[in-house]
Structure 1
Amino acid sequence: MVLPALLFLILFAYLPMGGLVMAFQDFKPWLGISGSEWVGLDQFRYLFEREDSLQVIWNTLVIAVFKMALNLLAPFVFAILLNEVRKQLLKRFVQTLVYLPHFLSWVILGGILTDLLSTEGGLVNRVLTGVFGIEPIFFLGQGDWFRFTVIVSDVWKEFGFGTVVFLAALASINPSLYEAAEMDGANRWKQTLHITIPAMLPIAIVVGTLALGNVLNAGFDQIFNLYNPLVYAKGDIIDTFVYRAAILSGEMGFGTAIGLFKSVISFILVVISYRMAYKLANYRIF
């Protein structure tokens, strides 16, 4: 039963690693890997000499860190609030409603957001102008607003999925703790502060530390479907930069060098994050 998955993994994850040698070559497609000139670390030196490369790395870190923080905080808070709902039907309805966006691709959501945020008749700008008297905002054409839009829309899409983890942690809390606290005169706020939140902190630590390994993954699908040349300075990330450098511009050696740099840093962060998860929450996979 494992063999098909193993063959799939070898074919698509391990065999392509042979192409990493292009990161050390001035790769020419018509010469192939064997015929291209070996340049050593020149591609990596070029990576750190280019001003746009450093800006892309900074953009990736800013977007990814904000996504990580808010995608941890939003489901944490929402799970606590949802846990206080006593009507089970309402609780399940709300949980399903916020969970659904997770299953929509960014191709679909990108089109929806483009229409909603348009400066020419978009629903959001119509509300801002008609109700609050604010001038239309070019959400997808101004760098800072683009970052804001990317982060908020990603949190909206994923926080329902993240809530499931924290609801599972809440379900494991012994009800007798709440009963004892109630007998001692603790109200719902005190019970939340001294029972619910401490019980959720271990899983929050695990989720947060494991997310550290993805700090350089700012979301290729989302950025690719929403960005445009107007926001490259603030919205371009490593993955989209690799796509444009390697596929569109034909700098395959340079694109491979960027991808290898990202993979090495991500591997180090994954090792650190799993070590932190073990130290802080006694969580281990192996």
Structure 2
Amino acid sequence: MKFAYPVFFCALLAAGQPALANIDIQFDYRYDSSGFFTGANSSRQNLLNAAAATFESSFEDNLAAITSSGSDSFDVSFFQPNNGSKTVIPNFSVATNQIVVFAGARNLSGAVAVGGPGGFSSNGSADFINNASSRGQSGALAPIETDFGPWGGAISFNSTSNWYFDSDLTRDESFSGFDFYSVAIHELAHVLGFGSADSFKNLISGGKFTGPAVHALLGNNPPLAGDSHWANGLSYLGQEAAMDPSIAGGQRKHFTALDAAAMKDIGWQVSAVPEAETWTMMLAGLGLLGWRFRTFQRRG
């Protein structure tokens, strides 16, 4: 049985309607050697795109292009989604406002997925090197980073997990298996800096997150599990946060206003997040949504 669920972030606009976004998350499946997203499973790409739309429809940053040319070279490094080994692509280029995420699957031990931003090395003019490090975000440069301008990164999903691929994300429902869409949102947030950017780590003090937007929302500094997730079970207005470390069987989570506030604190220009009731009414005109599950499993 399907039922309405209050949410805080748009997942996917109606078919054919562009997201109200500056950033454009593009998925690269060249390392999907198991066919987790390709061939007979190509429809799964729609769910991954829906997860990306959660951020595309809310992040208003302008990311500068990185163009390898002549003596200006940008070499990206990331874990290969199908085997976990480090991969380097030399002379990589990223278009204005584009973020590239390499996606695939492999047998992961103890996790349903892992994800994070990629690394890089750059050579050339000082302006080119600074742009490669910041993508035009002035606070993304040392000595104390307050912003984040990634080129992209990689996500690998556990090929042996019992996944639930929802064909209608406009409503939540009872199901079994790990909700793919929910996990995808969580891992994309890591690619975009939650728990991984220096601007996130610079806001950790005494095991708590001290970002001003989060503090203004909660009235306190919430605890963390390690340095890359909220404390397990942390919730906002009765909803468990998307960025705690666990997801369980039968559970769907949504990216809450608390999660969004943390993204704002690490430097993203996050548009205003509507109240839950507003989103419930808006879903009739939107395409896809989702998150939630429980025997606990760790996520990256």
TM-score range, shorter chain: under 0.3
Higher relative contact order (CA 8 A, sep 6+): 1
> Larger Rg: 1 or 2?
1
Would you tell me which structure has more strand in proportion to its own residues? Answer: 2
What TM-score do you get using the length of structure 1 for normalisation? 0.22
Would you tell me which structure has more helix in proportion to its own residues? Answer: 1
